[in-house]
Amino acid sequence: MAETVIEVRGLRNQFGSHVVHENLDLDVYRGEILGVVGGSGTGKSVLLRTIAGLQRPAAGSVRMLGTDMETASEAELRGLSERIGVMFQDGALFSSLSVLENVEVPLKAIPGLGTELTEALARLKISLSGLPWIAGDKYPAELSGGMRKRAGLARALALDPEIVFLDEPTAGLDPIGAAAFDEVIRDLSRSLGITVFLVTHDLDTLYAVCDRVAVLAEKRVLVTGTVEEMAEVDHPWVKEYFLGPRARAARGAIAAPPTKG
């Protein structure tokens, strides 16, 4: 059986009197790419931030890589933070730092790494994200949206994480750029064995890279399974999302054989 690296049980997230999640359960397995989808207001990004330890839930438990997030000591949480990476929408880069300096930020927290090794590792991560080597010397304002997202991915990969959290990684990208980013995610997961927790609304991404899908609805994870299995779920939102014209187009694009040049 696949190893469970994230285990969420009975989770409740709320802001004031507004309950976003109630009694939410979810398992994520080592090495898989899990796509999290749901309608507007279902709390996809809230769930990501809660699991990643960036905000505390009102109730329930999150266990990640064997660590109970509620009872862990500060030292245990610091150690856990070095085993995960997070990429926010649009990269969330420090505007006053170059791409190279942004990627170096988490590396500088590791004692004993000299300047030369830190730079070499940062440039390796920049390359792994699919950016050209020269991009490391540029500032976020000098980059396109797609390049900023890749820079954010490079920073998320800085510490060789076991789990990477990606929040809407292809949002705002043109179809070619989104497809290229999907390919990077798939290749990194397969080659490095990284587990990917991916919040998205992009059907093309779901069909192209995700091993499983978790659907948020009714304040919980309504169902999990492969994209193909979603077509059998008898729920109005799931049917509309996975059986609509955009889903058929995404499914057709994956099934279509490549054209010969």
CB-CB contact of 212 with 224 (8 Å):
yes
What pTM does this model have? Answer: 0.91
CB-CB contact of 26 with 220 (8 Å):
no
pLDDT value, residue 256: 56
CB-CB contact of 256 with 87 (8 Å):
no
- Provide the 8-state DSSP code for 170: T
139: pLDDT strictly greater than 50: yes
pLDDT band at 246 (very low <50, low <70, confident <90, very high): low
pLDDT tens figures, 165-189: 999 999 888 888 899 999 999 999 9
pLDDT tens figures, 228-242: 999 899 999 999 999
pLDDT value, residue 200: 93
137: pLDDT strictly greater than 90: yes
CB-CB contact of 77 with 69 (8 Å):
yes
The set of residues, in sequence order, having a beta carbon less than 8 Å from that of 149 and lying 6+ positions away, is: 87, 90, 91, 169, 170, 173, 181
Domain with CATH 3.40.50.300 in the chain: 4-83+162-254
Over residues 72-81, the mean pLDDT reads: 92
pLDDT value, residue 261: 47
CA distance 156 to 158: 6
Q: Measure CA of the first residue to CA of the last residue in the chain; give whole Å.
A: 43
pLDDT value, residue 88: 86
Specify whether domain 4-83+162-254 bears CATH 3.40.50.300. yes
